Chains A and B, each alone.
Chain A
Amino acid sequence: MKFLERIVENMEPKFAKGAKLEKLHPVFESFTTLAFTPKEVTHKGSHIRDGVDLKRTMMTVIIAMIPCLLFGMVGAGHWHYVSLEAMGESTGVDISSFWADLGAKIWYGLGVLLPLIIVSYGVGLTVEFIFAIIKGHSLHEGFLVSGLLIPLIMPADVPLWMVAIAVAFAVLIGKEVFGGTGMNVVNVALTARAFLFFAYPTSMSGNSVWFGGQPDGFSGPTALGELATFTSDDKASWAFQSISEFSSKYTMEASWMGYIPGSIGETSAVACIIGAAILLFTGVASWRIMVSFFAGGLAMSALFNVWGANEFMLLEPLHMIALGGFFFGGVFMITDPVTASQTNTGKFIYGFLGGFLSIMIRVFNPAYPEGVMMAILFMNVMAPLIDHYVVQANVKRRLKRLKTA
């Protein structure tokens, strides 16, 4: 590695203060620090520092997303061929089983995902670099995760230009205006999704976006989209006559494994659980948030079960949380430490309410068949309030001691 080291050292002067490329120093620094931990030594305070840094932390999240990414790739291919077959085209790809003809499915999925990832990173990093140059600091690592999260929460059929606009919006308005990585109020990836959801609703929900490259006239809603029809008073508009009929089409097993249509990376609870295991073991994600999020979701579903005002409410809690983006949100979104509660007590409250509201929005509001995004964004905004009360309790304890002393 001496060779690379020499290249870096030879290039350094060109970007130094006063040199021609001074303005691009942040860019130079961002790339060299990817390859080499800098020579920077401690000057103040503790002379030694923990090995951990933000790059390694973010890398771990990316690794944890890989199962979802791979599963999403197969899924994108599978549902594409399903839609073609449904319209009577003969593709020669075996769609009887999710895992059959993997090669063809992965190939198609790659064609869907790769452009999405390239656009997401390309646009996001461009904005980040512009800010890095203006502010004169090297690239902060936050977007490395957001950039991969965004493709995974998009429907397979989303136009690339929309993704580009959404990413630019999310990075600019969601993050950089607040000061960059670590300063944002709401989750960046969800900001991108929310932007598209409200700006281009027809491309983000409904019956014709989930099956990538589908032929015209094909209709394929998600499980949640079909469930949402139960909330209508008009029985004729119901997709199923009863919840048990729903459960036989979207079985418990298929829902957990992810053999159902949905956004690219969100469908498989199992893939999310693998990611969750990595995040929890390494401690990158807070177990307090994750556990309480699922507890909240199960609690709300169980409450609905008891209430039973419509067929939707009767869906089993374990089935309910396996659908839609509940797992993906609970593992990768709500655990984002910047936008979550920061106190240990607050994390329990924050996570629980997040899960609770996700299911509530899902069941009550037919306009949002999936409530996870809205619930998490809402909780992001509420997190500082939760922390405020937790911290005030600590302050009061201290004042009380003063008075009794």
Chain B
Amino acid sequence: MSKTIKLRKGLDIRLLGEAEKVKTSVDAPETVAIKPPDFHLLTPKMEVKAGDKVKAGSVLFHNKYNDKIKFVSPVSGEVADVVRGAKRRILEVVIKADAEIQYEQATVPALENMSRDEVLKTLLDSGLWPFVRQRPIDIIADPDETPKAIFISAFNSAPLAPDMDFIVHGQDELFQKGIDVLSKLTDGKIHLNVKGNGAPDAAFMNAKGVQINNIYGKHPAGNVGIQIHHIDPLNKGEVIWFVNPQDLIIIGKYFSTGMFDASKIVALTGSEVSNPKYIKTIIGTNLSKLVDGNIDGDNVRYISGNVLTGEKVEPNGYLGYYDNQITVIPEGNQLKFVLTKGWMAPGFDKFSNSMLFPTWLTGSKKFRLDTNTNGEERGFVVTGEMEKVFPMDIYPMYLVKAIMVNDIDAMENLGIYEVAPEDLALCEYVCTSKVNIQSVVRDGLDVIYEECM
């Protein structure tokens, strides 16, 4: 019953700094932080304060409006600081980590004997629940709903994205355990979507209790939203849950050992990294030990995540909760003279999806792109460019315009339930008029959440 999806639209941005396939380790971080803004629309209610001792798996805060959803510490140690921003919004909960991680130890009964409610309760109480997210709206799943299906994207197609096959290699059992947990949560199918052109890891191919779908195509083929659209499209009122493969392994570990082991492998990538590689670390880790001595130049931007959807962080900032990747690229805060590097330059150093730059001549050359917007914001003029990189049966420009004018009916009609900001990240990249499309889409989803959910 597996499906094969071939996508013609999309764009692979060829960047320098792909991680070399070696798993390395660095010293354990001195501090770790959980950042509530990583969980969109969450209002956290603290359960600890600065100075409290915590173990890995101890609850730090919960959702103020749904106290069943808890967020736990990935390490043991002492709560060092609760960093607040404007309007006293909690930005970071920083934990000073012990040298040796102490775990909260739980006893988890055998999965076969557990009912849906028991599995759900275990996931919620253990703090694993935030790994389960939902479409529409692209937020943490609502545990009171039942999804019509659960999706796992077994590959990431974003620029320089880590190779999931490499990361999960050898963790077949834990991955399968995670799938078994998910299968308790839905009566529908669990879709495991693997890269069509490539040899997916055995952990994926041997997984049981799932429907394995082959996805061919360029980015955003790896986005779960695109996969949902082509395999089991979302209609108004329906919910689909999705989980990252690495997060699923953490769930699997908990159900095997009773411990919240938040270790994961992240890829350190980007043109400014001297030795791009995979690093074994932990959720919410401080970046400084990961990047130390491995960065060329000072005027660089650190991104937790990939260049299209990631979050800008400080060099001593913290890894985002769901991120499997750190990208370091040059800042573009220099004036660029028109004839040499600006809008009339030959432009061999620029990567463009349009034919206005000679990117098409450069074969498989990889690019060192900076953060300059390469132009100023304008009204929409060029049409048809977004459609080329947006493999859904949705009119992206019409949807974006509907959101801009806050027309809820139009948003619903045009398919807002099927998209997340990351799905339109490439539209934002190619936009000639430099409109910040992802934040527009996010605003639209927030309105929909407020008004229609």
A36:B382 contact, CB within 8 angstroms: no
A181 CB–B CB distance under 8 Å = yes
Q: Which A residues touch B436, using CB under 8 A?
A: 43-45
A45:B334 contact, CB within 8 angstroms: no
Q: How far is the CA of A401 from the CA of B338 in the complex (A)?
A: 50
The smallest beta-carbon distance between B359 and chain A, in angstroms, is 8
Q: Return 26 A-B CB contacts under 8 Å, by A number.
A: A43-B436, A44-B436, A46-B438, A47-B303, A49-B428, A49-B434, A50-B350, A50-B353, A50-B429, A50-B431, A51-B356, A51-B359, A52-B356, A52-B374, A53-B374, A53-B376, A54-B375, A56-B344, A56-B356, A59-B344, A179-B379, A286-B384, A337-B383, A337-B384, A342-B384, A394-B394
Q: How far is the CA of A391 from the CA of B394 in the complex (A)?
A: 9
Smallest CB-CB separation from B159: which chain A residue? Answer: A48
Binds B, one of A1-9, A211-219, A229-237: A1-9
A55 CB–B CB distance under 8 Å = yes
Q: How far is the CA of A33 from the CA of B333 in the complex (A)?
A: 14
A45:B438 contact, CB within 8 angstroms: yes
Among A37, A182, A338, A397, residue most surrounded by chain B Cβ atoms (within 10 Å):
A37
Q: Which 4 A-B pairs have the closest CB atoms?
A: A53-B375, A182-B379, A51-B350, A45-B438
Q: Which B residues touch A118, using CB under 8 A?
A: none
Q: How far is the CA of A251 from the CA of B275 in the complex (A)?
A: 69
Q: How far is the CA of A157 from the CA of B393 in the complex (A)?
A: 51
Which residues of chain B in 31-60 are interfacial with respect to chain A, using CB atoms and an 8 Å cutoff? none
The smallest beta-carbon distance between A70 and chain B, in angstroms, is 20
B243 CB–A CB distance under 8 Å = no
B233 CB–A CB distance under 8 Å = yes
The smallest beta-carbon distance between A57 and chain B, in angstroms, is 6
A34:B338 contact, CB within 8 angstroms: yes
A281 CB–B CB distance under 8 Å = yes
Q: How far is the CA of A337 from the CA of B382 in the complex (A)?
A: 6
Smallest CB-CB separation from A390: which chain B residue? Answer: B395
Q: Which A residues touch B353, using CB under 8 A?
A: 50, 52
B370 CB–A CB distance under 8 Å = yes
Q: How far is the CA of A405 from the CA of B354 in the complex (A)?
A: 38
Q: How far is the CA of A179 from the CA of B431 in the complex (A)?
A: 20
Q: Which A residues touch B301, using CB under 8 A?
A: 41, 47
Q: Residues of A at under 8 Å CB distance from B?
A: 1, 4-5, 8, 33-57, 59-60, 138, 140-142, 179-183, 281-284, 286, 337-338, 340, 342-344, 347, 391, 394-395, 397-399, 401-402, 405
Q: Knowing A4-B337, A338-B381 are in contact, say whether A394-B307 is a contact too (CB < 8 A).
A: no
B395:A394 contact, CB within 8 angstroms: yes
B266 CB–A CB distance under 8 Å = no
A282:B381 contact, CB within 8 angstroms: no
B343:A398 contact, CB within 8 angstroms: no
A140:B333 contact, CB within 8 angstroms: no
Among B338, B370, B397, residue most surrounded by chain A Cβ atoms (within 10 Å):
B338
B335 CB–A CB distance under 8 Å = yes
The smallest beta-carbon distance between B49 and chain A, in angstroms, is 32
Provide the main secondary structure of the chain A interface: loop
Provide the main secondary structure of the chain B interface: loop
A182:B374 contact, CB within 8 angstroms: no
Q: How far is the CA of A394 from the CA of B336 in the complex (A)?
A: 42
Q: Which of B233, B415, B429 contacts A49 (CB 8 A)?
A: B429
Q: Which of B350, B432, B439 contacts A45 (CB 8 A)?
A: B439
Q: Which B residues touch A57, using CB under 8 A?
A: 354, 356, 381-382, 432
B236:A182 contact, CB within 8 angstroms: no
A402:B439 contact, CB within 8 angstroms: no
A37:B335 contact, CB within 8 angstroms: yes
Q: Which of A8, A36, A48 contacts B371 (CB 8 A)?
A: A48
Q: Which of A38, A48, A138, A140 contacts B329 (CB 8 A)?
A: A48
Q: Residues of B at under 8 Å CB distance from A?
A: 13, 233, 235-236, 238, 301, 303, 307-310, 312, 327, 329, 331-338, 340-344, 347, 350-357, 359, 369-376, 378-384, 387, 393-395, 397-398, 413-415, 421, 425, 428-434, 436-439
Given contacts A37-B375, A49-B431, A53-B374, 7 further A-B contacts (CB under 8 A): A37-B343, A41-B373, A52-B430, A286-B384, A342-B383, A347-B384, A401-B233
The smallest beta-carbon distance between B409 and chain A, in angstroms, is 10
The smallest beta-carbon distance between B342 and chain A, in angstroms, is 4
Among A34, A35, A401, residue most surrounded by chain B Cβ atoms (within 10 Å):
A35
A282:B383 contact, CB within 8 angstroms: no
B437:A397 contact, CB within 8 angstroms: no
A52:B415 contact, CB within 8 angstroms: no
A282:B354 contact, CB within 8 angstroms: yes
A48:B369 contact, CB within 8 angstroms: yes
B413:A395 contact, CB within 8 angstroms: yes
Q: Which A residues touch B397, using CB under 8 A?
A: 342
Q: Knowing A39-B334, A45-B436 are in contact, say whether A56-B343 is a contact too (CB < 8 A).
A: yes
Q: How far is the CA of A303 from the CA of B235 in the complex (A)?
A: 46
Q: Which of A8, A52, A142 contacts B357 (CB 8 A)?
A: A52
A391:B395 contact, CB within 8 angstroms: yes
Smallest CB-CB separation from B434: which chain A residue? Answer: A49
Smallest CB-CB separation from B414: which chain A residue? Answer: A395
Q: Which B residues touch A53, using CB under 8 A?
A: 343, 374-376, 432, 434
B381:A35 contact, CB within 8 angstroms: no
Q: Which A residues touch B312, using CB under 8 A?
A: 47
Q: Which of A37, A56, A344 contacts B372 (CB 8 A)?
A: A37
A41:B374 contact, CB within 8 angstroms: no
